[in-house]
Structure 1
Amino acid sequence: MDENENFVPRVNQLDAEELDQEILNIFKGGLQNAFKYFLRNPLDLIGPELEAIIKIIIWNFTLRARNSSIGQELLGIEFIVKNRLQIVGTGFLNIVLKYLEARQSSIVRLFPGREEMLNKSFQTIQNILKFAELVNFVIFLQNGIYPNLIQRLLKLKPRPVVQESRSVGYSFMTRELMWHLLTELVIFLVPLIDISSFYSKIRPSKADENHCATCLKLPIVRISTPCSHVFCYYCLVSSSSADGEYIPCPVCGTKINKQTICSTIHS
């Protein structure tokens, strides 16, 4: 029962993080507008420090004061805080890690002669963190808790602030969003796959010299390739997404010059 009462839709948790980032971008945009007419922009010198100060101010008046960020408060979410160190740790990790990443080059220069080793170390750590974030996100899509790695490390679970007797469930919106993203991914990947070539390999070939080797029908605008295969013009051209001078034969992979195809058509 407690789990159902504390359930927060995944979409709301992700939207809260997006809102928090947009609020930070608004403050950063205000600073950029304030300093854009300076001959020497202070942001070039102390930009990461000013961003860290902005984050500290936002953290102080939101997470520390009310156990929820601006985005979470707008969407009616707050953290279940069992220890104040969880809130302190969230602010520390979010601010310090981003600051160290922004000042990586300056930190490396403090240790002359070890720049290459330190850069490789920083890159390795960043890659490990990115991989951990990816794994955490996959787990989040499954169980709907801890949308980022810091919340998982500190065991900060979200819960809805408003409890209503006749609340509307929006779980279907989560499913629709996931299916929409999956559809977009498939639409993006399908054109990158050479389906015709793959289909011609797994399909039993019944073609002869009078039939197209791809569609196995009488060829429309017959093309005879130098490797002695027969195709429809469209079947041959659409079998490859290559934009170069040559097209690979869908049957044997022999490179066919596009000019040869054109000359065959005209003849």
Structure 2
Amino acid sequence: MSINYIPRVTQLDAVQLDVQVEELFKQLLFQAARYLEPGILQPILPELELIIRTWIFRYSFYKKHCTFGQEMLSLKYKTDNISQSKMYWYYGFTVGLKYIKERAMYSLTSNQRVQDLVHKLETFQLISDIFNFLRFIQYGKYPVLIDFILGLELTADKLTREDLTDFSWTRELLWHNFIELIGTAISLMNMFGLKKKLSTVLKYMWWRHYSRTSGTPTNATMTQNTVCACCLSKPVLPYTMGCSHIFCYYCIMANKTADRDYACPKCYYNGKKVHKFVVV
């Protein structure tokens, strides 16, 4: 008799075990190659990881309809819901996409368009993982995004951890995975651009005075009371971008590098060129 309800912590343990199995294979590979010439494996590292993941897929999901982590915990996918096409899609998502991303990062580092596309795909996937994890916490099914997309449900003949009663540890594990996803997603966000978009939205909500970015440039002046328009501290290496306000060199360059359309937070003037402020 199969068991349909699988505890959430058991499903998360299976996911973590899959990650550890892959890392174990990589460590064994690096240990075997430690006496080779340094850097000899670096150019073909994405292909080596592709071979490892393909081998894991071949002898786990493709052959047994469960991953190695799931097999360790007596879990498996419902076989009546697995087709040949789903296996191909599963392989493409878990193995193929990772290889394409890693090869693009290794070989096309100078192609800005490719790097921007990879960055956007990573961000989209991370956000999808966060929403899927929230859904998993609520319903207790599909801990991995690809399982939800393909509708792969887990079942078990027995539960190796059915006597689990440490609910505080269970909550800690769930929150650890959630916080890790949140932290990774935030690190990929353009906080400067996000701040600008939020400021643009809030100007309509709060009826605040807002000067158009197409305003006419003015001359900046600096006195003893002048502060940086960004950090509100004494300007360090003062710079200006066409409006009457002064910026620290780091403040204005960091914002302009992150967002080319960065506007002055005081008057909202969008100067395209940044100049060093010279006291006449």
**So what's the TM-score if we normalise by structure 1?**
0.58
Secondary structure of the corresponding residue to residue 98 of structure 2: helix
Percent identity (aligned): 25
Aligned to 1:178: 171
Aligned to 1:258: none
> Which entry has the higher C-alpha Rg, 1 or 2?
1
Cα distance per residue 1:74-103 (max 9 Å; x no partner)? 101001132232233212211111112211
Aligned to 2:138: 142
| 2:132 partner letter | N
Aligned in 2, Cα 1:181/1:76: closer, same or farther, shift over 3 Å?
Answer: closer
Question: Given the alignment, which residue of 118, 121, 136 partners 1:122?
Answer: 118
Aligned in 2, Cα 1:117/1:182: closer, same or farther, shift over 3 Å?
Answer: closer
Aligned to 1:39: 37
Aligned in 2, Cα 1:179/1:53: closer, same or farther, shift over 3 Å?
Answer: closer
Aligned to 2:26: 28
Cα distance per residue 1:105-146 (max 9 Å; x no partner)? 34536xx8xx22222222112111100100100100111111
Aligned to 1:209: none
Secondary structure of the corresponding residue to residue 36 of structure 1: coil
Aligned in 2, Cα 1:130/1:163: closer, same or farther, shift over 3 Å?
Answer: closer
Shift of 1:24: 1.1
The 1-side partners of 2:168 and 2:78 are apart by 26
The 2-side partners of 1:181 and 1:11 are apart by 7
Question: Given the alignment, which residue of 153, 159, 170 partners 1:157?
Answer: 153
| 2:5 partner letter | F
Shift of 1:32: 0.5
| 1:45 partner letter | P
The aligned runs of 1:185-204 (5 Å cut-off) are none
Aligned in 2, Cα 1:176/1:101: closer, same or farther, shift over 3 Å?
Answer: same
Shift of 1:162: 2.6
| 1:96 partner letter | G
The 1-side partners of 2:126 and 2:175 are apart by 22
Consecutive unaligned residues of structure 2, counting only runs of 5 or more, are: 179-280
The aligned runs of 1:8-23 (5 Å cut-off) are 8-23=6-21
| 1:62 partner letter | S
8 Å CA contact retained: 1:14, 1:147: yes
Aligned in 2, Cα 1:94/1:182: closer, same or farther, shift over 3 Å?
Answer: closer
Task: Give RMSD over aligned pairs.
Answer: 2.9
Consecutive unaligned residues of structure 1, counting only runs of 5 or more, are: 186-267
Secondary structure of the corresponding residue to residue 159 of structure 1: strand
8 Å CA contact retained: 2:18, 2:69: yes
Aligned in 2, Cα 1:180/1:30: closer, same or farther, shift over 3 Å?
Answer: closer
Aligned to 1:49: 47
Aligned to 1:86: 86
Aligned in 2, Cα 1:173/1:87: closer, same or farther, shift over 3 Å?
Answer: farther
The total of aligned residue pairs comes to 175
| 1:156 partner letter | L
Aligned to 2:98: 98
Structure whose residues are more often helix by fraction: 1
| 2:92 partner letter | F
The 2-side partners of 1:70 and 1:180 are apart by 20
Secondary structure of the corresponding residue to residue 38 of structure 1: coil
The 2-side partners of 1:181 and 1:53 are apart by 31
Aligned in 2, Cα 1:180/1:93: closer, same or farther, shift over 3 Å?
Answer: closer
